[in-house]
Amino acid sequence: MPARIKLIILIIKHSLYTGAAVDYASPETPTLSIDTSRQLVSWLHEQQLSIALSTYQIGKLFLLGVKPSGELSVFERNFSRCMGLCPSPNGFYLSSLNQIWRFENMLEPGQLHEQFDRLYVPQLSYTTGDLDIHDMALTDAGQLIFVNTLFGCLATVSATHSFKPLWKPAFLSKLAAEDRCHLNGLAMMDGKPSYVTAVAQCDVADGWREHRTQGGIVIDVATNEIVLSGLSMPHSPRWHNGKLWLLNSGTGEFGYADLSTGRFEPICFCPGYMRGLAFHGQFALIGLSKPRNNKTFTGLALDEQLTKRNAQPRCGIQIVDLRSGDIVHWLRFEGLVEELYDVIVLPGVRTSMALGFKTDEINRVISIEQ
């Protein structure tokens, strides 16, 4: 795949009450197709929310919403190897290859910029170097916490250094840029970091890759105890409605951890490699990717489940009703986008756009603090 891909896709038309597939192609670019379930757009409209998602595969931030006309809005910007997303009071944070960006909404309540009710500007950045940052979250005090996967620790930003370490698993003998256990997920509870996921309990460089099928663990940050084990490449732990939910990505199962018994309780199967989990009321939004054809993603139980169900892996978003475990809505990417990392919801946002650095728009958006 070329390093630089020209992709022009701003607004995809889509009836509020019908599903549709939309293709974009030109002689210079690969095809991108976005397909949705029949009622997805009406669900977004009824729930009064938008979705933000990241794909590091092609370095894109996508913002999905509903136009005033009732059509699906898809807006994208380029950020190299963007991964972790984290909501903030007036916008969100995004991690990229060597920086963390804080996006702020520049519009006042009720104000519109063209058709958009949110205009997100990359207002602040921290240069971190390539730490392979995965999940991010804000504490109740407003401190940004991120999973520093390269060093296997939780960290925060620094005004003078690449990062400030805050916590590491007890089984790691030192902080080293070796991705020993592939720490990747962070769950907050009562505004504090509470649980993390790792692919393996391993203390040698890149050692997690030999334990992909059953080495996955969940660690209690406060006690440093392993509260759940035997998982397969777990991701995206989240505390919601009194339960610790997570993605058992290597098996394709979404469920919750029964902390009293130390067991994982699946509630549904999703046809793809899961990363990215957000909640809105009784609904879970799950990011799906097509597994890469390499040693990291082959030989997992997910392959067997897909074969058993006569299904092909998908890339997109699955919306699950937590009360039934049913997948009630979905969005699917075909072609150019094959992998996602994170998904967040933007409540109260109808349709949004963001500024980037590839065009001159950012030169003309100037605001004055009152």
Q: Which helix (H) or strand (E) segment is 192 a member of?
A: strand 192-198
How many CA within 13 A on the CB side of residue 304? Answer: 7
Round the CA-based radius of gyration of the chain to a whole number and report it.
Answer: 20
Tell me the mean pLDDT in the region 262-281. Answer: 98
Give the pair of three-digit tokens for residue 203: 């203390």
Backbone angles phi, psi at 198, to 5 degrees: -140, 155
Place of tokens 């972790």: 84
pLDDT value at residue 297: 81
CA distance 41 to 50: 10
Closest CA to 330 of 270, 248, 251, 266: 270
The tens digit of pLDDT for each residue in 291-342 reads 887 778 888 999 999 999 999 999 999 999 999 999 999 999 999 999 999 9
Q: Tell me if 11 sits within 8 A of 310, measured CB to CB.
A: no
Q: Tell me if 235 sits within 8 A of 252, measured CB to CB.
A: no
Distance from chain centroid for Cα 254:
15
Q: Tell me if 245 sits within 8 A of 229, measured CB to CB.
A: no
Q: Tell me if 42 sits within 8 A of 319, measured CB to CB.
A: no
Helix, strand or coil, per DSSP, at residue 369? coil
Letter string b/e over residues 137-170, b meaning 16 or more CB atoms within 10 A of that residue's CB? bbeeeeebbbbbbbbbbbbbbeeeebbeeeebbe
Task: Using DSSP bridges, classify how beta strands 21-26 and 29-36 pair: parallel, antiparallel or unpaired.
Answer: antiparallel
The tens digit of pLDDT for each residue in 216-247 reads 999 999 999 999 999 999 999 999 999 999 99
Closest CA to 73 of 125, 99, 104, 112: 112
pLDDT value at residue 299: 87
Neighbouring C-beta atoms of residue 266, cutoff 10 Å: 13
Say if residue 18's pLDDT is above 80: no
User: Could you tell me which residues are beta bridge partners of residue 94?
Assistant: 85, 101
Tell me the mean pLDDT in the region 265-269. Answer: 98
Q: Tell me if 224 sits within 8 A of 169, measured CB to CB.
A: yes
Backbone angles phi, psi at 119, to 5 degrees: -125, 100
